[in-house]
A and B are shown apart, each in its own frame.
Chain A
Amino acid sequence: MYDLSNNDPLKEKLTILSDAAKYDVACTSSGVSRGGREGFLGNSVAAGVCHAFTSDGRCISLLKILMTNHCIFDCKYCKNRASNDVPRATFTPEEICTLTIEFYKRNYIEGLFLSSGVIKSPDYTMERICETLRLLRTKYRFNGYIHVKAIPGASDELIYSAGLLADRISLNMELPTQESLRKLAPNKNMKNIIGPMNRISGTIAGHRVAVGKSARMERCGINKHLVNSIFGPGVDRIEGPEGDSSLFPAANPFLYPAEKNDALLRRPFAPAGQSTQMIIGATDETDLDLIRTTQALYQSFDLKRVFFSAYIPVNEDAALPDKTAPVPLLREHRLYQADWLIRYYGFVADEILTGDNPFLDYRVDPKCFWAINHLDRFPVEINTAPVDVLLRVPGIGPTSVKRIVSARRYGSINFEMLKRMHVVLKRARFFITCNGRMFERVPMDHRYILNQLADADRRDVYQITDRNNDFRQLNLFDDLKMERA
């Protein structure tokens, strides 16, 4: 194998290792607010800051790199799998620190996202990652945001240290079932992913309670008005079934420190929570499976985010989709919309999809789809409907609900006012009344409304599915070689 790791310039390494890291989705710098300190570099803003946008439209908030792309694992979908012949490189801890610091000072990035291929063993890799982070936090006095990937199979003490040094820690689930993992990632197993995830979540909760916060992470404020929401008032973490100790190791739900008296590690454990990511379209899971898994992860492990990554065919393999298969971008988009419904709108997975129809309708967004299938609950009266009912109307989101509720204290609301509040009337008009009147005469027929809504979304759908087509109007002079008379 051609190895570039020896005596290679930094540029070469950065090209290889950022290219190798680009399929990781999470690049958010949000979730924790921390002011700057004299003598240190950096702060952190809870809302997150995007510094640049790449040519695929995704934001760059963190310096997203792998420590190394050498890997002993052979996950079929991964570009860096052991059996692939790709250029390999490894950063030294010093190099990662210098890059982070210099980029940060120039305002290019908000922090570091550090992941890695597995060299030698998960423990060895995790140790190198911790060494890098420790150097960055201590010698380089970096106080900005760090997102670190935990390596499945690494020991608990090392994951504990990583969590103390970083702001967010994540473990990639990649595939939602044990069977798909066995098929595509033979070196990984569910136990090695779920176990640490559970312990990280327990440790985060422990650290939060110790400083007087609630055990569960902060969520969007609207959830406290939604009784059915999985983050609603009085909803607790769902613990695993008693007997199933393979997935929920109930005996040891916490991580324990490697070094107890390290003053420099007196930091909260992963204050921005943990996240995970799943690949969409490499195996034949249904959307319902994915949404149910997502919801279970929020409920059991209190994950801050679950990311979806549309599978991009980089390898040829009998177990994988064809290399010419299109990237399922629209499916990814609709799944994110469903994820938002769970986190911000008080929906649960089994409301969005049912067993006999386990795929989302990609023509319209999941909220419209739900509304069309529950026409018996509509239209709702804007001036009297409660918050949770308003929030289920397509075209009305948490911000609009807040505006509506505060405005109707002083008088009745009409369609003109809704427009000014930025309610999306092209969707909402089928489902609401203002003072008993609808926006226009609408037959409450499921097929009619579906077609209308699909038509309203047609452009957006086209832009996602066919954005790389450079179709254009034929030109008589250029294409058909006609000449002016």
Chain B
Amino acid sequence: MRIFTCEPEWEAMLTCIFEAFESGLGHKNIKLLLEPVGQVSFLDEYVHVDADPSKADRLSEAIVRRISYEVYTEMAYTAMAFEEDVLDNIYHVLILGFHYGPEVLRMVKFADIMRNREIRARVVREAERFREILRFHRVGNVYIAHFEPRSRVVGYLGPIFSDRMPSEFFVIVDDIHREAVIHGKNEHFYIQKLTDVEFENLLHTEEENDKYTDLWKVFFDSVAIKERANEKCQRNHFPLWARKHAVEFMR
């Protein structure tokens, strides 16, 4: 079996799928994986694919023209997921898409479509969780938040927060994938890959606590009813992993 691998980025992923289509080996004889590859099998042949803008463009144009724009955006959202088989799944959904057309995502009888829905739901669930628990710190005139997601959900959070605070300058930093959403006052947001220097500079913003951080802790403690204490329920709703950047739990 030939296994095509690429960097976990949208352009590289599109190029990888393009190469897989072009290889002409038959869909059953190829597999697509994201790097880093976990366990390497000595029976298979691994082919690394580099991002190529022209090939990626050709594929995305083909998807939009021959399937639909909706399927293209759905695939882009799926590509955010932290799952081993995500690239392989996108490849198989696209094969079905080129055959059945724009209705393909509703054909749940195919296992690939079912799996795609599962992956997609996981991404949304994770992103929605961060919509709740993200905490901004004020540094000068900028509000900066750090978070550590498994999937690359920073692109999902961008529109949510620019609708919430359209006239604020804020930055949302994904510490795991080193990407950031940057939103200027009354401007469109954009997503930027962070260099090591930039990341270093942004690293200590969580130590910038002001009066309102303290006031929030005061509020958080005094609004709880002691007679109804229920730590288990609190943990169900706000699990320990989620508390890393939540100021109310930083003592």
- List chain A positions with a Cβ less than 8 A from chain B: 10-11, 14-15, 18-19, 21-23, 35-43, 49-60, 63-64, 99, 102-103, 105-108, 310, 312, 327, 329, 463, 467-468
Contacts and interface: CB of A to CB of B under 8 A. Distances in A.
B68 to A, nearest CB: 23
20 contacts: A11-B218, A14-B218, A35-B163, A36-B165, A41-B167, A42-B165, A49-B132, A52-B133, A53-B233, A55-B224, A56-B228, A56-B230, A57-B228, A57-B230, A57-B233, A58-B228, A103-B216, A106-B143, A106-B216, A329-B228
Interface stretch (B9-17, B44-52, B134-142): B134-142
B164 A36 contact: yes
A22 B212 contact: no
Given A63-B219, A327-B227, 10 more contacts: A10-B211, A21-B223, A36-B164, A54-B223, A55-B224, A55-B230, A105-B136, A107-B135, A312-B228, A329-B228
B231 A55 contact: yes
Contacts of A106: 135-138, 143, 212-213, 216
Contacts, number: 132
B126 to A, nearest CB: 15
A18 B228 CA distance: 16
B237 A57 contact: yes
A21 B136 CA distance: 26
A18 B216 contact: no
Interface in B195-251: 211-216, 218-220, 222-234, 236-238, 246, 248
B186 interface: yes
A103 B165 contact: no
A327 B133 CA distance: 30
A25 to B, nearest CB: 10
Interface of B: 131-138, 143, 145, 161-168, 186, 211-216, 218-220, 222-234, 236-238, 246, 248
A35 B246 CA distance: 26
B223 A108 contact: no
Contacts of A64: 223
A15 B138 CA distance: 23
Contact of B163 (A19, A36, A49): A36
Contacts of B222: 14-15, 18-19, 22
B138 A56 contact: no
A36 B183 CA distance: 14
B164 A51 contact: no
Contact of A37 (B136, B166, B220): B166
